[in-house]
């Protein structure tokens, strides 16, 4: 052994164990710090993802998700971006997409509502209700939906009503007129709007239906013109087609009698009788 080298006294077993434990403690502390850094990065990534998701949801709700108005317990008054005013009847729902207003001002209605539409010749206002559309440029009207029955009562302006199942057909209604499908997609009627003081004097109406049973067609005519029609019971299921525009009831009944090869009598001002 070189006498110039310093003498290092060997560790006792206890000192060696304490040093080893210290080394282990440092290693563990280092591992804990590494895990904390990993957890911190993971938590940061999760937080960023959550913030991104929340931002996406908020953006979707603000810029994409349609506005839905629901008159739950009472009538609900709404003013749209184009300054059109709508009153939803109790139980009605209106859906308006964020694109409103655009080239066409489309709204989607379930139930009944009164519309006061701001005028715009360049941007028609279209109410979608089931398979029906009511298209206007500026007007006041009421849409009533009861079961399968679809009605439009017009107060001011002009409305064009169409059915998506019959795209080639449309009907123009004027103030104080009502469009009705009488509970069937196969029927279209335009007649004066009925009020408590309604007078039937020289009333005309537009009716259209194809291959209808006579008994069903005559019920519609009775409801439209508020008359009574008597007909042979054995002809109840005879098929009839009608397309009449602005026709008086006398003229319409004459056309029906010719179509069915029946005679017609007017027993009084409100009663018609079809017979062999």
pLDDT 10s digits, 247-270? 889 999 999 999 889 999 988 888
Whether 1 is covered by a domain: the verdict is no
pLDDT at 170: 92
Q: Do 73 and 171 reside in the same domain of the chain?
A: yes
Residue in 100, 109, 116, 120 with CA at minimum distance from that of residue 151:
109
Whether 269 is covered by a domain: the verdict is yes
Whether 24 is covered by a domain: the verdict is yes
Write the CATH number for 209: 3.55.50.30
Q: Do 59 and 122 reside in the same domain of the chain?
A: no
Residue 249 in tokens: 């009831």
Of 29-38, 110-119, 136-145, 199-208, the one with minimum mean pLDDT is 29-38
Q: Which domain holds residue 72?
A: 66-175
Burial of 93 (0-12, 13-18, 19+ CB in 10 A): middle
Q: Do 34 and 93 reside in the same domain of the chain?
A: no
Average pLDDT over residues 206-222: 91
Whether 234 is covered by a domain: the verdict is yes
Give the confidence band of 210 by pLDDT, cuts at 50, 70, 90.
Answer: confident
Q: Do 71 and 122 reside in the same domain of the chain?
A: yes
Q: Do 165 and 71 reside in the same domain of the chain?
A: yes
Of 45-49, 92-96, 122-126, 198-202, the one with minimum mean pLDDT is 198-202
Q: Which residue has the tokens 């929340």?
A: 54
- Reply yes or no on whether the pLDDT at 112 is more than 90: yes
Say how far apart CA 122 and CA 192 lie, in whole Å. Answer: 29
Q: Do 91 and 51 reside in the same domain of the chain?
A: no
Task: For residue 201, give Cα distances in angstroms to 196, 204, 213, 272.
Answer: 15, 9, 28, 16
Q: Do 74 and 95 reside in the same domain of the chain?
A: yes
Q: Do 214 and 154 reside in the same domain of the chain?
A: no
Q: Do 94 and 56 reside in the same domain of the chain?
A: no
Whether 245 is covered by a domain: the verdict is yes
- Reply yes or no on whether the pLDDT at 182 is more than 70: yes
Whether 148 is covered by a domain: the verdict is yes
pLDDT 10s digits, 113-151? 999 999 888 889 999 999 999 998 778 999 999 999 999
State how many domains the chain has.
3
- Reply yes or no on whether the pLDDT at 207 is more than 80: yes
Question: Between residues 60 and 165, which one has the greater pLDDT?
Answer: 165
Write the CATH number for 140: 2.60.120.1440
Q: Do 50 and 106 reside in the same domain of the chain?
A: no
pLDDT at 48: 73
Whether 7 is covered by a domain: the verdict is no
Average pLDDT over residues 104-116: 95
Q: Do 93 and 167 reside in the same domain of the chain?
A: yes
Whether 33 is covered by a domain: the verdict is yes
Q: What are the residues facing 179 on neighbouring strands?
A: 152, 190
Give the confidence band of 55 by pLDDT, cuts at 50, 70, 90.
Answer: low
| Three-class secondary structure assignment of the chain | CCCCCCCCCCCCHHHHHHHHHHHHHHHHHHHHHHHHHHHHHHHHHHHHHHHHHHHHHHHHHHHCCCEEEECCCCCEEEECCCCCEEEECCCCEEEECCCCCCCCEEEEEECCEEEECCCCCCCCEEEEECCEEEEECCCEEEEEEECCEEEEEEEECCEEEEECCEEEEEEEECCCEEEECCCCCCCEEEEECCCCCCCCCCCEEEEEEEEEEHHHHHHHHHHHHCCEEECCHHHCCCEEEEEEEEEEHHHHHHHHHHHHCCEEEEEECCEEEEEC
- Reply yes or no on whether the pLDDT at 236 is more than 60: yes
pLDDT at 62: 59
Q: Do 168 and 247 reside in the same domain of the chain?
A: no
């Amino acid at each position: 052994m070189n006498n110039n080298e310093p003498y290092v006294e060997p560790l006792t077993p206890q000192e060696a164990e304490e040093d080893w434990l210290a080394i282990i403690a440092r290693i563990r502390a280092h591992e804990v710090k590494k895990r904390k850094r990993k957890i911190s990065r993971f938590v940061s990534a999760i937080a960023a993802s959550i913030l991104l998701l929340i931002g996406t949801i908020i953006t979707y709700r603000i810029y994409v998700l349609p506005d839905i108005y629901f008159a739950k317990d009472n009538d609900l008054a709404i003013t749209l971006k184009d300054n059109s005013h709508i009153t939803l009847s109790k139980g009605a729902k209106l859906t308006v997409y964020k694109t409103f207003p655009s080239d066409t001002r489309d709204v989607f209605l379930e139930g009944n509502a009164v519309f006061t539409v701001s005028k715009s010749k360049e941007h028609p206002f279209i109410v979608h209700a089931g398979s029906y559309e009511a298209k206007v440029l500026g007007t006041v009207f009421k849409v009533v939906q009861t079961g399968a029955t679809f009605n439009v009562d017009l107060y001011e302006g002009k409305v064009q009503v169409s059915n998506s199942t019959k795209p080639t057909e449309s009907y123009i209604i004027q103030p104080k007129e009502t469009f009705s499908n009488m509970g069937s997609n196969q029927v279209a009627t335009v007649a004066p709007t009925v009020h408590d003081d309604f007078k039937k004097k020289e009333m005309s109406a537009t009716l259209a239906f194809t291959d209808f049973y006579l008994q069903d067609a005559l019920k519609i005519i009775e409801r439209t013109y508020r008359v009574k029609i008597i007909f042979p019971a054995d002809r109840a299921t005879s098929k009839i087609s009608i397309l009449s525009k602005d026709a008086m009831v006398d003229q319409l009944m004459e056309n029906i009698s010719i179509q069915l090869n029946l005679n017609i009598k007017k027993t009084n001002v409100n009663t018609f009788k079809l017979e062999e």
